[in-house]
Structure formats: structure tokens, C-alpha cells
């Protein structure tokens, strides 16, 4: 049985090409439509990736500054930071000394940093910079309250909460949009493959009357479906890569403060998503279409 | 080979195409079926090929019970039948040779045999010289012969030819009938429907069956 299909491999490929050529115009139209809808999908996908990346980066930046009593000494600082590390929801604790605090402020002020020169001494205090998990902001703050040696906590709780809810919204909304676009891609592509098979319905039924098995009849259409979806995948992949590379450069110059994923990484993710989509849709779409072309 | 007892066929629109058919066909018989247009000739062949199922009665083809629960087995049974359809049902966009080859390449046979069978069949119907022409470019009679070549290339045990002389002049009609008759041997039965009763030579056939309004009558035994 299997041997027979393998012996016919060349035929199946040739047949897929014949079927393609037989309805050349409509197949080329389908190819470009599939490429277009894949492209739209890829754009939605990259938008989703970019916003996810931004949300993650924003969350990663969520930090609290802890100012401690200057008299606790080096040992005290060490003990304090160990205690802080023990609180749930703390990702990282780092000491920012006076010098670093100064140079950070210099950076923030940029050209206006010359105002700092009016101070004779470094006006900044050292502090502990704590990266936290936004899900647990309240827990962390409560935990810090009971630790001795802390003078003052700068937390921007409102900003942190806002960031947290924005990130959540982006994630949910992005996933919903991506799901909707993915679903319509599936419906449209399998409908298109079905149209192609409808074109050849007569021939399919004749083969059935001659005793050919459904598998023998189906393989060329499966291959043709794959040809269409993978062709569409390649075209849209090329177009997306070009657009993404242009777009990330453009966006990065317009929104310099926004963290964008690397174009190369993003392209890789898109190509991976498109390949998976092409193969899945080529197979699932053709099977669906074939089973709906049963004899009348 | 074929056994029918009290077979009736009623189409979904309630047309009663065949009524109470009793028929027995032995291996190696040549059978002609005649009757006016709309009398039920094609419908009878459709039953033999499993394109329709009897709505009542009992039908068996080469030991295979013909009913909807047997669809899978009937698909396999078809591989031993060579059908020549009234409207040919050739594969468009392909050469004559590809048409004949595609008609049986799904049978489990070595590729060289498939090709040889195809070429032999084309030689028998006198179309070897057109093997690599597109079927679209053929005349009516040539279409007919491609359809026959496709049906016989698989070396079937039962040939079902529906109106193979339609639209042909007397000389060519006779050629086609003789050609089809030549595939009869002690294992292979040939069933042909035709209007052209005046061309039939009672020496050659085993049975002549007439159908009128779905009722079958045995006209003559050859
Ligand atoms: N699929 C169908 N649905 C309903 N009625 C049908 C169908 N096919 C055939 N009929 C009817 O059944 C009757 C027999 O048709 P059939 O095609 O068997 O005739 P026939 O003897 O082959 O005619 P012809 O010589 O013109 O080919 C006709 O009245 C026809 O209209
Ligand atoms: Mg007919």
C-alpha cells in the first residue's frame, strides 16, 4: 500500500502542478490572496510581539528606590539588602552609591547637567535600587515597611499600577486581535482551497468511479494546497521581513524611549509563525476541502 | 457475474427509473441492452457500477452485494470493472496517454506494466499515433476510443459501455461495436447499451435485452 504511494510520488507532484496550471489564473489569484492575508497576519503578529516586548520591558523596569539610614555602615547595608532579597516579589537589589547617583542625574539632565556644578559636594545620597514583580507591589511595600534601617522608600505606586494595567490590557487585546486574524486566515484560506477543488470536482468523481482510493485522489490536492499556502507564506515572509526592518528603524527614531525588539529576532519569530501557519493551513485546509467535495 | 432479483431504482425526485428487474449474467457473456431514450439503460449500468443503489430488491456484482453499507468494498470492486461513460468523463488538460494511464495507475501494478497496458490499449483502439495529443484536440469518435482504451487498459472482468455508438456514422459505429465485442473472453463479460439495434449481429451476442419505461424484457438469446 505505502509502496504504491511512494512509487507514485513523482506523479503526485506532477499532478499537483497540472492541477495548478489547469486553473492557472484562479490559482495565481489565490496565491496572491493567501500571501496578502498572511502578510496582514504577519503585521498583526509583529504588532503583538512589539507591544508584548514593550509591556515586558516596562514591567522589567519597575523599580523602587530605598534610602537607608546613612549610619548603618557597610555591614548594615549588606544585611539590609539581604533582608530585602528575602521578601517575596523582589527580583534584584543593587546598591547605587553617591557617585553613580550623581552620574545618573548627569545623564538625565544631559546638556543642562552643568547646573550640578554649582554644588561643592555631591548632593546625592546612595540608595538601594530594587527591581520588583509588579504583580506583588503591595506585598513588597508592606514587607519593606517593617524592616529597620530604612529611612524612606520612593515607589511611584500610582505609576507602577498604571504600567501594570497597561501591560495587561496590551496583552489581552493583542491576543484577541491576533486570534481573530488567525481565525479569519484559516476560514479564507480553506475556502479558497475548496474553490480549487470544486473546479476539479468532475475529475475527482470520475476517479472515484474508476476505483481510485480517497488517499490517491487526495494527495495531489494536499500538495497543491501546500504549494499555495507555502508559496503565499514565502511571499508574505519576504514582504514582512522588508517591512519589519524598515518599520523598526523608523519607529525607533520616532519613539526613542520605547523599547523595541531586535528586528532580526522579530523576523525570525514571524518566519516561524508563517511557516507553521502555512503548513498547518495547507494540510488542514485541503483535508477540509476534500471531505466537503464528496460525490453528490 | 451479475445477479439481480426484483431490483427497482427510484431517484430522489420519485422518478421510478427501473422496475422489478430480474437478470443473470455469466462470466464471458456479451450483452446488448436497447431501449428508447429515457427508458433506463444508463440507470441500469449505474447500478452495476455502484453509482446508484437499488431502492428495493437484491443485486450482486462479481459476488459483491450492492448496497450503501458496502461503499468501501464497492470502490474496490470498481477496479475490476471498465466503464465507458455516455459522456466519456475524460480528464481534461491531459494527453491521450495520460488519460489512459491515470485511469488505472492507482492499481497496485509495476509502473512499466501500467505504461505497457496503456500503450497496448491505445493500439487496440487505433489511437497509438495520437497518444501524446491533448484530449481536447480529438474528434468525437476519438474521444470515444480514448474512453474505451481507458476502460480496458486495466484488464477488467466486466466492461460497461454506455451508448458507445452515439453520434457515429454506421461504419464507425460498427467498428466500435466490434472492438468492444473483441474484449469478451471466457472470463470477461461485456455489456453495451445502444440504440443501433439494426447494426447488431445475432451471431455475436449472447443476450439482447430491451428496456421500456424501466421494465426489462429478454428480447433474444444469440
Ligand atoms: N439523477 C436522476 N434523478 C432523477 N431522475 C433521473 C436521474 N437520472 C435519470 N433519471 C430519469 O430516469 C429515467 C431513465 O434515465 P436513463 O438515463 O437511465 O435513460 P437512458 O435509457 O439511459 O436514456 P438515453 O438513451 O437517453 O441515454 C429517465 O426518465 C430520466 O429522466
Ligand atoms: Mg443513457
* Residue A240's pLDDT band (cuts 50, 70, 90): very high
CA B140 – ligand 1 centroid, Å: 22
Same domain, A174 and A284: yes
* B5-14 mean pLDDT: 96
Same domain, A15 and A122: no
Q: Which of B7, B10, B11, B52 to mutate to test the pocket of ligand 1 (most atoms within 8 A of CB)?
A: B11
Question: Which residue would you say has higher pLDDT here, A87 or B44?
Answer: B44
Establish if A156 belongs to a structural domain: no
Convert the pLDDT of each residue in A91-116 to its tens digit: 888 888 888 888 888 887 777 777 77
The CATH number covering residue B202 comes to 3.40.50.300
- The pLDDT assigned to A2 comes to 61
* Residue B157's pLDDT band (cuts 50, 70, 90): very high
Establish if A152 belongs to a structural domain: no
pLDDT at A141 over 60: yes
CA A51 – ligand 2 centroid, Å: 66
Instruction: Using the structure block, give the residue that is written with the C-alpha cell 539581604.
Output: A82
Convert the pLDDT of each residue in B42-80 to its tens digit: 999 999 999 999 999 999 999 999 999 999 999 999 999
Convert the pLDDT of each residue in B89-138 to its tens digit: 999 889 999 999 999 999 988 888 999 999 999 999 999 999 999 999 99
- Our CA-based measurement puts residue B112 at a distance from the nearest CA of chain A, in whole angstroms, of 11
Element (H, E) at A17: helix A9-22
What ligand 1 atom has the least distance to the C-alpha of B43? 18
Which residue is closest in CA terms to ligand 1's atom 25? B37
Q: Say what the ipTM of the complex is.
A: 0.94
Dump the DSSP string for chain B.
-EEEEEEEEE-TT--EEEEEEEEEE-TT-EEEEE--TTSSHHHHHHHHHTSS--SEEEEEETTEE-SGGGHHHHHHHGGGEEEE-TT----TTSBHHHHHHHTTTTSS--HHHHHHHHHHHHHHTT-GGGTTSBGGGS-HHHHHHHHHHHHHHT--SEEEEESTTTT--HHHHHHHHHHHHTT--SS-EEEEE-S-GGG--TTT-SEEEEEETTEEEEEEE-
Same domain, A177 and A216: yes
pLDDT at A157 over 80: no
Range of lowest pLDDT (A25-29, A213-217, A260-264, B50-54): A260-264
How far apart (Å, rounded) are the C-alpha atoms in residues A131 and B42? Answer: 83
The CATH number covering residue A121 comes to 3.30.70.3040
Establish if A159 belongs to a structural domain: no
pTM metric for this prediction: 0.77
Establish if A254 belongs to a structural domain: yes
If contacts are CB pairs under 8 Å, which of residues 83-142 in chain B contact chain A? 83, 85, 89, 91-94, 102-108, 111
Convert the pLDDT of each residue in B124-154 to its tens digit: 999 999 999 999 999 988 999 999 999 999 9
Which residue is closest in CA terms to ligand 1's atom 27? B37
Same domain, A184 and A214: yes
For residue B89, how far is the Cα from the chain centroid?
12
For residue B49, how far is the Cα from the chain centroid?
9
Domain tally, chain B: 1
Same domain, A70 and A196: no
Say whether B76 and A212 touch across the interface (CB within 8 A).
no
Top mean-pLDDT range of A135-139, A197-201, A282-286, B155-159: B155-159
pLDDT at B180 over 90: yes
Same domain, A86 and A49: no
Same domain, A74 and A119: yes
Establish if A99 belongs to a structural domain: yes
Which of A4, A22, A209 lies at the smallest CB-CB distance from B108?
A4
Same domain, A121 and A183: no
Domain tally, chain A: 2
- The pLDDT assigned to A208 comes to 94
How far apart (Å, rounded) are the C-alpha atoms in residues B61 and B2? Answer: 5
* pLDDT, mean over chain B: 92
How far apart (Å, rounded) are the C-alpha atoms in residues A265 and A248? Answer: 12
Task: Note down the domain range covering B200.
Answer: 2-221
Same domain, A186 and A72: no
CA B34 – ligand 2 centroid, Å: 10
Establish if A138 belongs to a structural domain: no
How far apart (Å, rounded) are the C-alpha atoms in residues A219 and A117? Answer: 78
Task: Note down the domain range covering A101.
Answer: 63-132
Question: Which residue would you say has higher pLDDT here, A81 or B83?
Answer: B83
* pLDDT, mean over chain A: 83
- The pLDDT assigned to A146 comes to 80
Same domain, A262 and A168: yes
Residue B18 and residue B59 in contact, taking contact as beta carbons nearer than 8 Å: no
Q: Which of B41, B44, B46, B161 to mutate to test the pocket of ligand 1 (most atoms within 8 A of CB)?
A: B41
Which of A1, A203, A209 lies at the smallest CB-CB distance from B49?
A209
Amino acid at each position: 500500500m505505502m509502496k504504491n504511494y511512494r512509487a507514485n510520488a513523482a506523479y503526485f507532484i506532477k499532478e499537483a502542478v497540472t492541477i495548478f496550471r489547469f486553473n492557472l489564473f484562479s490559482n495565481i489569484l489565490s496565491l496572491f490572496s493567501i500571501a496578502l492575508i498572511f502578510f496582514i497576519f504577519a503585521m498583526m503578529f509583529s504588532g503583538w510581539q512589539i507591544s508584548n516586548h514593550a509591556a515586558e520591558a516596562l514591567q522589567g523596569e519597575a523599580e523602587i528606590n530605598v534610602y537607608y539610614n546613612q549610619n548603618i555602615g557597610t555591614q548594615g547595608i549588606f544585611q539590609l539588602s539581604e533582608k530585602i532579597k528575602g521578601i517575596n516579589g523582589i527580583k534584584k537589589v543593587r546598591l547605587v552609591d553617591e557617585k553613580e547617583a550623581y552620574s545618573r542625574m548627569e545623564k538625565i539632565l544631559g546638556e543642562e547637567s552643568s547646573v550640578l556644578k554649582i554644588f561643592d559636594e555631591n548632593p546625592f545620597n546612595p540608595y538601594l535600587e530594587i527591581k520588583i514583580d509588579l504583580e506583588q507591589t503591595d506585598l513588597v511595600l508592606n514587607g519593606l515597611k517593617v524592616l529597620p534601617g530604612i529611612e524612606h522608600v520612593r515607589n511611584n505606586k500610582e505609576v507602577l499600577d498604571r504600567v501594570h494595567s497597561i501591560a495587561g490590557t496590551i496583552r489581552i487585546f493583542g491576543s484577541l486581535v491576533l486570534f481573530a486574524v488567525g481565525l479569519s486566515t484559516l476560514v479564507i484560506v480553506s475556502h479558497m482551497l475548496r474553490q480549487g477543488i470544486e473546479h476539479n470536482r468532475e475529475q475527482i468523481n470520475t476517479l472515484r468511479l474508476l476505483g481510485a482510493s480517497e488517499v490517491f485522489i487526495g494527495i495531489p490536492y494536499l500538495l497543491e494546497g501546500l504549494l499555495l499556502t507555502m508559496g503565499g507564506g514565502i511571499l508574505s515572509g519576504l514582504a514582512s521581513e522588508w517591512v519589519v526592518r524598515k518599520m523598526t528603524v523608523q519607529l525607533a527614531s520616532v519613539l526613542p524611549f520605547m523599547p523595541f525588539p531586535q528586528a532580526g529576532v522579530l523576523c525570525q519569530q514571524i518566519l516561524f509563525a508563517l511557516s507553521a501557519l502555512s503548513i498547518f493551513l495547507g494540510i488542514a485546509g485541503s483535508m477540509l476541502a476534500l471531505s466537503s467535495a464528496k460525490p453528490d | 457475474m451479475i445477479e439481480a432479483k426484483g431490483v427497482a431504482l427510484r431517484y430522489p425526485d420519485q422518478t421510478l427509473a427501473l422496475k422489478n428487474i430480474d437478470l443473470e449474467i455469466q462470466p464471458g457473456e456479451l450483452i446488448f441492452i436497447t431501449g428508447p431514450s429515457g427508458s433506463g439503460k444508463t440507470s441500469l449500468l449505474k447500478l452495476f457500477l455502484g453509482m446508484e443503489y437499488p431502492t428495493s430488491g437484491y443485486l450482486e456484482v462479481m459476488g459483491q452485494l450492492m448496497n450503501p453499507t458496502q461503499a468501501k468494498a464497492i470502490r474496490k470492486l470498481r477496479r475490476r470493472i471498465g466503464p465507458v461513460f455516455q459522456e466519456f468523463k475524460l480528464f481534461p488538460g491531459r494527453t491521450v496517454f495520460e488519460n489512459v494511464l491515470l485511469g488505472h495507475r492507482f492499481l497496485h501494478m509495476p509502473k512499466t506494466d501500467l505504461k505497457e497496458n496503456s500503450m497496448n490499449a491505445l493500439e487496440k483502439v487505433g489511437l497509438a499515433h495520437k497518444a501524446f495529443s491533448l484530449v481536447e484536440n480529438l474528434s468525437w469518435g476519438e474521444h470515444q476510443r480514448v474512453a474505451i482504451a481507458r476502460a480496458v487498459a486495466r484488464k477488467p472482468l466486466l466492461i460497461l459501455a454506455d451508448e458507445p455508438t452515439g453520434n457515429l456514422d454506421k461504419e464507425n459505429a460498427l467498428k466500435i461495436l466490434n472492438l468492444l465485442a473483441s474484449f469478451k473472453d471466457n472470463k470477461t463479460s461485456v455489456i453495451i447499451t445502444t440504440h443501433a439495434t439494426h447494426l447488431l449481429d445475432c451471431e455475436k451476442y449472447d443476450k439482447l435485452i430491451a428496456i421500456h419505461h424501466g421494465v426489462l424484457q429478454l428480447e433474444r438469446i444469440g
